[in-house]
Structure 1
Amino acid sequence: MSLRQTLSSRAHLIEDSARSEPSVASPGAEGNRTVSETQEEKYREEWRYPIFVCTKPKSKPSEFNSVIIEDLRDPLLPLLYVIYCAFLLLSALFTGLNLSLMSLDMEDLRRIKEYDENPKTRRYAANIIPIRENGNFMLCTILLGNTICNAIDVLVFDRITLNLELLDWERIILINVVPAMFIIIFSEILPQVICTKFALPIGSYCRHIMVFFMVITYPASYPLSKLLDVVVGKEVRSTMDRRMLGGLMRQQKSETANMAVVVENAMMLQVRRVRDVMTPLEKVFMISDRTEINVNLKQYLSQYRHTRIPVYKGDDRNSVIGVLNVKDLLLIDDSLDLHVGAVMQLWNRSTLTLFMDEAKLTRQSADVSS
């Protein structure tokens, strides 16, 4: 039903009631009211807004001449829209601060401050560290402020709907759906999308705003933060073991990829076993002790660029008798018709050491070096 139709129907109702009941004079007003006080109270209860009827002009003898319905919409309606948008933006700000300031722990911020190559990033981290040290206090402030803003938005929106021509079921649906959609879109999704990409700059630039709200909510948020310190403790330091740190280094695609591999292998040395670094026997480059030393053998060995080559006995690759040092062949004349086994006996440098495949690599390395 439109506003014109609503006013017209109300006017007819009042006109009929005015003719059926005696009028009540109102001294000091512009004439006499044509609706009795009892009838006026009745329509105050029946309709949402009170209806006031003007007096009949003295120049016209008609008993009921015209009806004026006063516009009783909330005079603060424009201000309500401003308040609603302001608290919606504040809710979005708290969500963004939660992600920007709480996404990195103190260890991450200190590493960025000390070792990051970008001076701006180091400055951002240095600005955030002082307020980030009070993690529970800051978290309580953010959550308390976000909750208050969302609650005020719902109340303000409810008052705004009172000024709209809606049926009761339409108003109920509007109150429950629209604020929730606005909060999800403008106070949750958009701030998280933006602050995920620019967490450090936003946290650095908004740190003074965060301090302001920490002071404002101090009576409530500070005791809650102390309670959290007692119950769950202060912020837990995040740590990574060797495997996690090695995986993190593998993910870094940079010019220092080879250095990352070296560092990763050094870190994993403590947990690796002998079988993790040894080559399977079927894949090992080996030669027989019956192999003749000549130019072809030297050229063949130079292709593989090995300095030490295992030597097995006869045709049995499982029977390793020693390790040939390639530099020992440099002084051997090709015309002497010698075999590899003879050279090994001549120099007598081969010392075989057996290891258990499940033995720790660091312990076996220490045994060999000693």
Structure 2
Amino acid sequence: MLVDTGNAVTDKVAEYAVAVILLVLSAIFSGLNLGLLGLNVHSLEIALSSGSVQAKYAAYILPIRRKANLLLCTLLFGNVAVNAALSILLTDLVSEVQAFILSTSLIVFVGEIVPQAVCSRYALYLGYMATPLVWGILFLLYPICKPVSMILDWLVGPEFTVIYNRNEMRKLVELHHEAGKGDGIQLDEFNIMTGALQYAEKRVAECMTPIDQCFTLDASARLDHETVLAISDSGYSRIPIMDVDPAGHAFVCAILYAKDLILVDPDDALPVRHVIALYNRPVTLVYSDCLLKHVFRDFKTGSTHIAIVVDVDSSGPGDPFYVIRGLITLEDIAEEIFQQEIMDEKDHAVRQGASLRVARRSGRSGAGRLEGPELDTVFHHLRGCYPALFLSIPEENLRFLLSRCPVVELDVPAPKPGVNPLSLAGSQAERLLRANMAIPVAQGGLQLCKAGQVAECAYLILDGKVQVLSGSAQQFESTLGRWSALALCMLGQGDQGDFVPDFTAAAIRGPVRLVRIDRGDFRRVSKMTRDEVLAAADHAVAPSDVQLASTGDIQPAKIGSQVVIVGSDHV
């Protein structure tokens, strides 16, 4: 008998109690052995920095977990000891065969399977709860376990920490994303993380823009109006300049920045060669099989954010030469990392100021409408530069008016020698005018208004040049350019009679693009209520077709005679 109190019943009860205690200790040792040692030190350090309740658990467990071999020896020694004691104790309670079967069953199911299954799922919390007990056991078994752990440290070295390679990390991120269920790694975060892990292995050829899809300029081109507008319409801020070497091979000789054109007057039509020679920027070349990480490293220096992708062609009998394959930018690398396209100025070119697109039509003028960013630009320009006139109109009314104002686009042919572009329009020119066609300069010029004749429209110049003659004998000459206004004062006269200008204005250098604001439309829209504006906008009604009523309903108005101006879309 392991327990002898002199009372057989008491002895049996005491032995059963000791057996239960030993079985519980066996379960604790077995569960903690798997739970604590299954917690990676790196995982605990990550949990420690999470700032959640898990950080509290990790802070308690990490000091004891760092003593890996000592903890292993202590838990194994304690587990084996209590299992052996339990087997010996059971032989006193039952027969040897029964003790073998009973001890094996209890140790396997109660002392191993159940605690290990529980601790493997709740290791952090249970480890935190059992930390004081483990420290106590370490203290008790220290004289025995410490020497053994030191031998293990010498034989097998320090604990091996798990380090993932790039592919393993990518798979780990994928698993976290799939198992997150809303609280884990979101889709955008997953794309960025996987893109950052993958981009270093990719080659330039995989994400470059082929040269045939790039906007380029020839070195022999001139920076006239058409070229500058083409650059603006492209939406790119860096333009490769192409040239040909003596052997006839094309190469990129320079990169033209859009900001280089700020001080360039399109009227001068400077050769591109002169501008690129002034700045003399070097061209960066990269091979198509170069790794993205190397290109990204060079881009981070700030010297350039664009490189020309080339290959060496040595197939011919002559010397090897570079073949241009395309170009790569910092944005292309960023898109590879973000795993999605970045919509920037080249994808949504905002046409403002000098970048207003001019639609050219042979021999005709076209009328469009302001919309999108262009409408916003004109709206803010008018309210900012002419506050006395346009700030008095509600924002909704002015936007409605501008959205219905025709945008007149005119092609101005080159004047013939000796022909005054501001000469009077003859009957043939008037017929062309009423047909909404451009008037050749030789037939009278593209007149917008004439001194002494009633005018009904004001203009805002978006592009091109308008010449103005003023004075009693029309002897004072001036030229208006982009964002200049013509006859806006008529809009502020209200119902004070007709506006008769004392100047003559005509488009002299094209293409010319203007916003035409009808005086009657301006007066009508300025008096409309908010409900009337919204109703007119919903029904796509023009301001001239709206009759103001006390009920605010939209009613058709009688359209009277109108003064026809160049580009007018109703006669």
TM-score normalised by L of structure 1: 0.56
What is residue 89 of structure 1 aligned with on the other side? 24
Supply the distance in 1 between the matched residues of 2:249 and 2:29 (Cα, whole angstroms). Answer: 71
Segments of 5+ residues of structure 1 without an aligned counterpart are: 1-72, 163-170
Supply the distance in 1 between the matched residues of 2:166 and 2:46 (Cα, whole angstroms). Answer: 18
Supply the distance in 2 between the matched residues of 1:244 and 1:345 (Cα, whole angstroms). Answer: 54
Displacement after TM superposition at 1:179 (Å): 4.1
What is residue 116 of structure 1 aligned with on the other side? 50
TM-aligned CA distance change 1:263 to 1:214, over 3 Å: same
1:308 maps to 2:238: yes
Displacement after TM superposition at 1:286 (Å): 0.3
Supply the distance in 1 between the matched residues of 2:147 and 2:211 (Cα, whole angstroms). Answer: 67
Equivalent residue letter for 2:136: F
CA RMSD of aligned residues (A): 4.7
1:325 maps to 2:260: no
Aligned counterpart for 2:152 among listed residues 214, 228, 243? 228
Supply the distance in 2 between the matched residues of 1:189 and 1:285 (Cα, whole angstroms). Answer: 65
Supply the distance in 1 between the matched residues of 2:211 and 2:88 (Cα, whole angstroms). Answer: 76
Supply the distance in 1 between the matched residues of 2:44 and 2:84 (Cα, whole angstroms). Answer: 33
Segments of 5+ residues of structure 2 without an aligned counterpart are: 1-7, 178-183, 305-571
Displacement after TM superposition at 1:249 (Å): 6.0
SS at match of 1:355: strand
TM-score normalised by L of structure 2: 0.39
What is residue 476 of structure 2 aligned with on the other side? none
Displacement after TM superposition at 1:95 (Å): 1.9
What is residue 275 of structure 2 aligned with on the other side? 346
Supply the distance in 1 between the matched residues of 2:133 and 2:252 (Cα, whole angstroms). Answer: 74
Equivalent residue letter for 1:193: A
| 1:1-370 correspondence runs (5 A) | 77-113=12-48, 115-118=49-52, 120-162=53-95, 172=97, 179-239=103-163, 251=176, 253-254=184-185, 258=189, 261=192, 265=196, 272=200, 275=203, 279-282=207-210, 285-289=213-217, 293=227, 298-299=232-233, 301-302=234-235, 306-310=236-240, 320-327=252-259, 343=272, 346-348=275-277, 351-356=282-287, 357-358=289-290, 360-361=294-295, 364-365=298-299, 369=303
Supply the distance in 2 between the matched residues of 1:279 and 1:246 (Cα, whole angstroms). Answer: 20
**What percentage of residue pairs aligned between the two structures are identical?**
24
Supply the distance in 1 between the matched residues of 2:275 and 2:24 (Cα, whole angstroms). Answer: 87
TM-aligned CA distance change 1:111 to 1:274, over 3 Å: closer
Displacement after TM superposition at 1:208 (Å): 1.7
Q: Is the 8 Å Cα contact of residues 273 and 358 (structure 1) preserved in structure 2?
A: no
SS at match of 1:146: helix
Displacement after TM superposition at 1:199 (Å): 2.0
Supply the distance in 2 between the matched residues of 1:344 and 1:188 (Cα, whole angstroms). Answer: 83
Greater strand percent: which structure? 2
Displacement after TM superposition at 1:285 (Å): 3.9
Supply the distance in 1 between the matched residues of 2:261 and 2:116 (Cα, whole angstroms). Answer: 69
What is residue 363 of structure 2 aligned with on the other side? none
Supply the distance in 1 between the matched residues of 2:172 and 2:147 (Cα, whole angstroms). Answer: 38
Equivalent residue letter for 1:293: T
Supply the distance in 1 between the matched residues of 2:241 and 2:126 (Cα, whole angstroms). Answer: 66
Greater helix percent: which structure? 1
Supply the distance in 2 between the matched residues of 1:192 and 1:277 (Cα, whole angstroms). Answer: 52
Equivalent residue letter for 1:85: V
Deviations 1:161-214 (A, max 9, x none): 42xxxxxxxx85x66655444433333333233223332222222112112222
What is residue 501 of structure 2 aligned with on the other side? none
Deviations 1:199-257 (A, max 9, x none): 22222221121122223333432221122122223434555567766765674644696
Equivalent residue letter for 2:286: F
Q: Is the 8 Å Cα contact of residues 309 and 325 (structure 1) preserved in structure 2?
A: yes
Equivalent residue letter for 2:124: L
Equivalent residue letter for 1:286: C
TM-aligned CA distance change 1:180 to 1:333, over 3 Å: farther
